[in-house]
Amino acid sequence: MELCGVQLRGPILNGSGTFDAIAARRTFGDALLERFPFDAFVSKTITLAPREGNPPPRLWETPAGLINSIGLPNKGLDGFLAEDLPQLAELPVPLVVSVMGFSRDELAKLVAAVAERPEVAMIELNVSCPNVETGLVMGADPAETARAVERVRPLSERPLIVKLTPNASEPEAVAAAAQEAGADSVSLINTLKGLAFDPDGGGHWLGGGTGGLSGPAVRAVALQQVHAVAGRVAIPVIGMGGISSGSDALDFLRAGATAVAIGTESFRDPAAGRRIASELAALEAREASKGNLAPPPEARMTQTGDSPPTFFRR
């Protein structure tokens, strides 16, 4: 298949920050490359300056999910380009680099530097952070998102994916603004805001205060948002949020996603990507034999509101 002009062997990506391919290579050796779980690899989000991340504890398990407050620890742009990129370039699949800037200038520096590297197939803009110039979370506001994309669009011919936050009043309006400003794709959802208290008292459990909820707990929210966004934009949508089986992945494709990403499930099972790919292939073969094929993209684009699309037959 093809995503934004990049050839992929299948539709399964990882969610940024949920699979450390460099650590996995150390643990599993070349077996990781032979049976790589994803069809494209998305890096952990990098920032311009190195970051320590949040103080521990950084994780809290909920009945059907995970709240994380990692705080984007990373080596910064220079450290990533010098140390991590050469290792990620050895992966047997196209590489997507995820970047986050605390201002449009920072974002521009990141995109310009990453786009120069031939190892990078696509760039994902993680816009779930406050812009220090305006105090607004870039991805929560359509105009703010559009200004960020417009600023970086001329700096790179690489496909730009805008990673949407579910913590926006109307994610489909943000997606439409990103498309209008030149984005090649949107991915969603990032984590939902979450909070946990220390069971022994003493206030917030997470060192960073609040965190982001992911896993099966967010799947229905993600599915609705993917459906709404895919009904609004013509560019490909990468769907994620709580996918833990081929059946979940198929639901996202039915909701209008072109590709899907696996996040929290990879913590439970590092090979989840491959398992979900084979479950999905078996389900698609079964659906095709019943004649329940996904609609062509133009049909997906005309789906609106809550009316269930006709291909929702099982």
Ligand X SMILES: Cc1cc2nc3c(=O)[nH]c(=O)nc-3n(C[C@H](O)[C@H](O)[C@H](O)COP(=O)(O)O)c2cc1C
Map the footprint of ligand X across residues 38-67, applying CB under 6 A.
44-45, 66
Q: Per rule CB under 6 A, is residue 166 in the interface with ligand X?
A: no
Give the nearest distance from C-beta 260 to ligand X in angstroms.
Answer: 9
Helix/strand/coil (H, E, C) string of 70-130? CCCCECHHHHHHHHHHHHHCCCCCCEEEEECCCCHHHHHHHHHHHHCCCCEEEEEEECCCE
User: Which residue of this chain has its Cβ atom nearest to ligand X in the complex?
Assistant: 17
- The window from 32-40, 152-160, 186-194, 252-260 that contacts ligand X (CB under 6 A) reads 186-194
Could you give the CA distance from residue 222 to residue 239 in angstroms, rounded to a whole number? 8
Tally the C-alpha atoms within 13 A of residue 195's C-alpha that lie toward its C-beta. 5
Candidate residues 47, 126, 165, 225; the one interacting with ligand X per rule CB under 6 A:
126
Query: C-beta of 239: minimal distance to ligand X in Å?
Result: 10
Query: What does the DSSP 8-state code read for residue 313?
Result: -
The half-sphere exposure of 169 on its side-chain side, counting CA atoms within 13 A, is 2
Q: With binding defined as CB under 6 A, does residue 218 bind ligand X?
A: yes
For ligand X, give the closer residue by CB, 72 or 228: 72
Residues 161, 153: contact at Cβ < 8 Å? no
CA distance 313 to 211: 37
How many residues interact with ligand X (rule CB under 6 A)? 27
**Residue of 214, 225, 258, 303 that binds ligand X (CB under 6 A):** 214
β pairing state of 95-99 and 41-42: parallel
Nearer to ligand X (CB atom), residue 122 or residue 218: 218
Instruction: Name the residues annotated as catalytic.
Output: 129
Tell me which DSSP letter residue 44 carries.
P
Stretch that binds ligand X, among 5-13, 110-118, 152-160, 238-246 (CB under 6 A): 238-246
Q: Work out whether 263 is an interface residue with ligand X (CB under 6 A).
A: yes
Query: Which positions touch ligand X (CB under 6 A)?
Result: 15-18, 44-45, 66, 68, 70, 72, 98, 126, 163, 189-191, 214-215, 218, 240-243, 262-265
